[in-house]
Each structure stands twice: as C-alpha cells, then as structure tokens.
Structure 1
Amino acid sequence: MPDPRGTLEMRLSVAPPTGGPATFPAGKVSAAPHRAAYVVQPVALDRICMVKLVRDRKKVPDFELSELKSSIAELGLSNPIRVESRPDGDFDLIQGYRRLSAYRELLKETGDVAAYGAIPAAVTEPGADLDALYRRMVDENLVRKGISFAEMAMLALDFASDPGTSEDDPERAVAVLYKSASYQKRSYIRSFMTIVRRLDKALLYPQEIPRSLGLTLARRLEEVEGLAMAIRAELADWDNRSIADELDVLRRLCGAVEDGAGQAIRPAPRPSRAAAGTRTSFTFDRRHERCLCIAAKGRLDIRLDRDFSAIDRTRLEQALRLMLDQVAP
C-alpha cells in the first residue's frame, strides 16, 4: 500500500540559461506535496542579489572555500543554490552563499564565462514569508560543517534587526530560528550574542571562538565594567593578527581583569608579536572611575572619562614628570 503522505517526483527540462551561456542537463527534482515546485536553471551571477536576507558575513578568510572551489572545478556543483525571482527580472539569494561565492571567485580567477558565468539555481516564485526564508537559510547553515556559535548568534541578531520579520527581540529570535535546537544550545547562542553585540566590530575571527571561551567571555563582559574597552584597545591597529593572536588576547583579558575578590589586577605581559611590537594593557579603579592603560614601545596611553585638555598645562606637565621619574628614571 502506498504511503498515504505521498511523494511527488517531477522531471523537469532545465530552462535555457538566464543571462549566461552555461548549459546544464535535464534534472530530477523531488519535493513534498505541500511545498511549492521550482525549476532548476542556470542563472547569471550578476543577476543574483543578496539583499533580501541580512547576512553579516565578515571579510575574513574562508579556509574551506578553496576546497569547495576545487570540487566544483573538478566535479561540478552537486546541489543548486536557491533563489527567488524578483519583479525586475533579477533574483534574490535564499540559500547557497558559499556556493555562489565559490562560483564568483572561480569566474574571477579563470575568466571562463561559459563555465562559471552562471550557476545552477532552483528558482521559486515570490510568496514565502520572510520568517520562513530565514529559517531555510538557518537550516542550511546548521547542516554545513563547522558553523560556530558566533555565526548562529549573528544570524539571530540579523533576523531581529530585519524590519520584515515577525520578531524584533534577539532573545526571542533565537527560539524562532532554532526551534529544533536543544534548550542548552539556544542558551549558548544567546551568550554569544553578548560577544557579538559588544565586540563584533573589534574581532576579526569571532567564528573561531570555542564554546568554553565564549561562555566565559560573555559572562565576564556582563560582570566586568571596562572589559570590552580593554579588548578593543588591545586589538586596535593590529590588522595582521592571526586567529591564535586574537584568541590569546580574549583568554588573557577575560581571565585576568579581576581576581576572585573582584579587585582589578594587572594581566601578565602579552606574548610579543614581531610584526606589530610588544604591547601591554591593563585596567584599574581609581576613586569612582575606571582607568585603562596601554603601554607600547615609545608610547603610553592613559584613558579616563575626562577632558585632559581642561587641566592646566603646568599642572599636567608636573604630574607627568613625577610619573616618568618613577617608571623611567
């Protein structure tokens, strides 16, 4: 007896290339009966837009993209991307950011328009609500190997910030997007949202933060006033840092800003970095304010929430002379 739920198999002749010279053999598409049918066809890369769904993709190396490019060059694309047609004749990307990125890089590197000027895409008509499109994108990211908690947190924040979605609260957005995840995993994602909110622009490699470090860092950012500022200062003007460099700063500062009694202490000197020179930073409380100090070769920065230009020049000079007599006699 056939399964009462049924399945629907449709053989589709692939439509002619949309704006590109590439050709593809006829394909076979299977879909559940309740899902909208789609046509797989080649779509020109320059006609695919990435604005419908917010994607907070940081400009950092994707170490697995080269493997994907090699696979595409040798075997072709195993799964088409998914796009939605637009009234102007172009298409919005729904799924397949990395596959599209690989095609664009291959086209740039080879100049082979016939091979990489268009990409196989499952084209659907407009109609799906934005929440469903975000969940579809999230589902794809969850099955992709190695997606990090930071990236999942970014997706939730993007979802909440998009005016077209049903939820504008990031905490509740996690529950909407990650329904299938365990309560514990959703809790981890919410913790990483703290890191993304406080440090996103300062970090080059948030996706490399391991879970244990991320949970500690998120907790310390909530507990320790000035920690985010100290991390930002430590990473400022250090664009050539490695993943290990960045993680070392996070481990060192989130573990050494305060001792068990809550008193500010000076962290151990940071490892030297040949390209940028040695630098040490620390914070401490003075009366009713937090002071951040950054020491480097030929430079000492003291940061307080006050206007030093308002201090009498003679008085400021005398204070600096006294300090220098103590630290650099």
Structure 2
Amino acid sequence: MVKKRSVFDINFEETDGSDAERFPAGNPELEKKSFNVQGHPLQNEAAPSRRGPMASAITEAADATSERVSAEAAIRAENDALAHEHVRLKKLGLITDLIETSSVVITKLTRDRSANTDPELQELKDSIQAIGLSNPIRVEQTGTGFELIQGYRRLAAFRELAEETGDARYTKIPAALVPRGEPLAALYRKMVDENLVRKDISFGEMAQLALSYAENEDIEPGEAVKVLYASALKQKRRYIRQFTRVLHVLGDALRYPELLPRALGIELFKLFEAEEDRGVQIAAALHAVPDRDGEAEAKILRDALAKPKEQPAPKSVSKTSLRLARPEGEARVIAQNGKVELRLPRDFSAVSREKLQDAIEAFLTSLD
C-alpha cells in the first residue's frame, strides 16, 4: 500500500517588486507631485528640479559680484561728479579752508599797499577780535604752500594778533583757493579791483603798483595804468598816471608815497613837466633829511614848490631923450634905468642877425 504525501498549496500574492527595490537602501523614491489642480500657477508644468549646494553657492557669488560692480560704478560716478563740482567752485573762488598764516608767502605780486605802518590796521584787528573775519583772503596753492592774491591787510592783522595775544586761533586764517595758472594780469586786476572800492588807498600806492607792474612786464607806466586800472574812472586814471611820473622822477628819495596828497602830487607833476631838472634838486633835498617822517617829507616837497616872489624893478627917476638926424629920417632915442629905446623909420628886421649883434656889441662897448 503506497503512502500518500500531503501537499499543501501555498499561494503567494504577486508583488510589483517595489519592496525589493527599496531594500536595503531604504530610501523611498521622491514623491512626484502633479500640478493638475485647476487654477494652480504651475498647472501642466513639471516640478522644479532640486539644485545642489555648490550650484547655489556659485549663483550667490555671481549675484554678489554683479552687485559689487554696480555699486563701485555708482561710487565712481559720484566721485567724478564731486570732482567736477569742486573744480567749478574753485574756479569761482568758493572753496574756502583754514590755512596756516605761516604757509602764505607774498612773492608773486607786488602789493598795492605800502610797507609803512598802517594807522588803520588796529581798527581791523579790533573788528576781527570782536566779530571774526567776514571776508576770507584769496590764495593760490603752490607746491610748498600758498601765494597771496588778495588780503594783505587781513593777513597782516592775523599775524599781528597771533604775536600780540598768543592765541592759536590767529595762526590760521580763512582763505578762498583760486585755481593755478591764472594769468598774472588777471591776478593783479583782482587785487586792484578789490582795493579800488576802498577809500583809504592813495594815488601814491596805486602809482607805485603801476610802476612795479610796468617794470615786471617791460611795458610803459601809462600802459600799466591802463591795464591795471581799467575799472577806474578816466579822471582817476589820469591822476594815477601823473603820480607815476612824480614817483619815477623822485625814485627812492620819496619814502612815503602813500602820504602824498593829491593836490601836492599834481603840482609836482606840473613842475617836472615844465622843469625836468627840478626833480634832481628835490630828490637831493629829501636825501639831505634821512630821519624824516611823512609829515616832514610833505613839508620838504611843499617848500620846493614855493617860489620866491619876484621883486618889482625899481621905477626910473630919470630919463634921457635924444633926437638925431639920419638919412632915413629923424632918430629918437630914449634912455632910462635898464632900458634904451631907439625909434627910426627903418626896417631893422631886414638886417642880418650877425650884423645886428655886432652893432649892438659895438654900441655897448663904446658906452663902457
């Protein structure tokens, strides 16, 4: 008898193999989302791909570089604009700064202010101490400092205040910077035009400046007056030209040209025009008094102009009359003190000069 085996049928459910694929990594497949929601902005579009960290870093670096380049360009453009504006303001003399008074030199321009003591400088110093300096000086920047263009008295006031008070505030002065390379004539005009509005500048100081400018530029003093004082009235320019003549004649003998009154200067001009040699005499008279002040100098000039009164000729108390018969007719001779008069109907202008001179000399010799 054959023993039968029991057979059990085991039915396994068929799988899609997903579990086997997931094992052993165990990382489930990324879920894919569909965007088929009605009205969704990504409808019918594929899901965005995921970016790695390196790609993100590169993108961010590129964006940062682009932003930096744009910022640098904007800064350069702003700096260029500021530089152009600085140049424009400097040309207009509107750039002002505090500069050391010791760094300002006075060599480029001859000043139209006298080097003698300025009696009104104390008033300016008092004003600066009370309210400060309202009008900056004007300077041109050099390689080592600054060259003074305008403001000689203001600079002098600050320097004296610093020395007298010891206050460090007066060692620096407000200054407007002018551009370099401006023509010399233009710089002189700026200085002159500023001082023309001042009532205390004298014709002697203006004439001295014209003479210095004429010497530097190798031109005539009259042309220098025309260039420097083009803004002045015609009458004032004429006075300045007359004073240049006086200063030129007297030279260094005139020590206080700024104190020379207008009327006295004009009288001296007329005198030198009429008698050129008088200038040498007056200069010698000035040199003869070396320790003089301005008042004494003016007195010497006035004394030189004063002429002694001419003494009238004494009246003759006697007179001799003669009548002589001549072929030309009757000659009448009248002789008195200092005078002999001959009247004869003859044209003495027809006699030659030599013959007339010989006859008169013979006449005078015979009288002796």
Q: Same fold (TM over 0.5)?
A: yes
Range with greater deviation from structure 2 (233-242 or 148-157): 233-242
Among residues 85, 101, 112, which one is paired with 2:141 in the alignment? 85
The match for 2:195 is 141
Query: What are the equivalent positions in structure 2 for 1:26-45 lying under 5 Å apart?
Result: 36-45=92-101
The match for 1:22 is none
Matched-pair contact (CA < 8 Å) for 2:90–2:177: no
Query: What are the equivalent positions in structure 2 for 1:181-260 lying under 5 Å apart?
Result: 181-236=232-287, 238-256=289-307
Which structure: larger Rg? 2
Query: What are the equivalent positions in structure 2 for 1:1-329 lying under 5 Å apart?
Result: 36-55=92-111, 57-86=113-142, 88-112=143-167, 114-163=168-217, 168-236=219-287, 238-256=289-307
Residue 101 of structure 1, CA deviation: 0.8
Structure 2: 5+ residue runs without aligned partners?
1-87, 312-368
| Cα distance in 1 between the residues matched to 2:183 and 2:310 | 50
Relative to structure 1, is the Cα distance of residues 43 and 257 closer, same or farther in structure 2, using a 3 angstrom cutoff? farther
Matched-pair contact (CA < 8 Å) for 1:200–1:206: no
Of Structure 1 and Structure 2, the greater helix share is in 2
| Cα distance in 2 between the residues matched to 1:257 and 1:229 | 19
Structure 1: 5+ residue runs without aligned partners?
1-31, 261-329
Counterpart AA for 2:138? R
Residue 239 of structure 1, CA deviation: 4.1
Residue 223 of structure 1, CA deviation: 2.3
TM-score of the aligned structures, taking structure 2 as reference length: 0.56
Residue 58 of structure 1, CA deviation: 4.1
The CA deviation string for residues 131-160 of structure 1, in whole angstroms up to 9 with x for no partner, is: 110000001111122111111111211222
Relative to structure 1, is the Cα distance of residues 95 and 38 closer, same or farther in structure 2, using a 3 angstrom cutoff? same
How many positions carry a matched residue from both structures?
224
Of Structure 1 and Structure 2, the greater strand share is in 1
Counterpart AA for 2:206? M
Counterpart AA for 1:65? L
Relative to structure 1, is the Cα distance of residues 63 and 239 closer, same or farther in structure 2, using a 3 angstrom cutoff? farther
| Cα distance in 2 between the residues matched to 1:121 and 1:257 | 56
| Cα distance in 1 between the residues matched to 2:108 and 2:304 | 38
SS at match of 1:154: helix
The CA deviation string for residues 137-188 of structure 1, in whole angstroms up to 9 with x for no partner, is: 001111122111111111211222224xxx7222111111111222222111
What RMSD over aligned residues (CA atoms) do the two structures have, in Å?
2.5
Matched-pair contact (CA < 8 Å) for 2:226–2:237: yes
The CA deviation string for residues 243-275 of structure 1, in whole angstroms up to 9 with x for no partner, is: 332212111102328979xxxxxxxxxxxxxxx
| Cα distance in 2 between the residues matched to 1:45 and 1:200 | 33
Residue 242 of structure 1, CA deviation: 3.3
Counterpart AA for 2:156? S
Matched-pair contact (CA < 8 Å) for 1:55–1:158: no
Counterpart AA for 2:221? P
SS at match of 2:264: helix
**4+ residue segments displaced more than 4 Å:** 32-35, 257-260
| Cα distance in 2 between the residues matched to 1:66 and 1:210 | 23
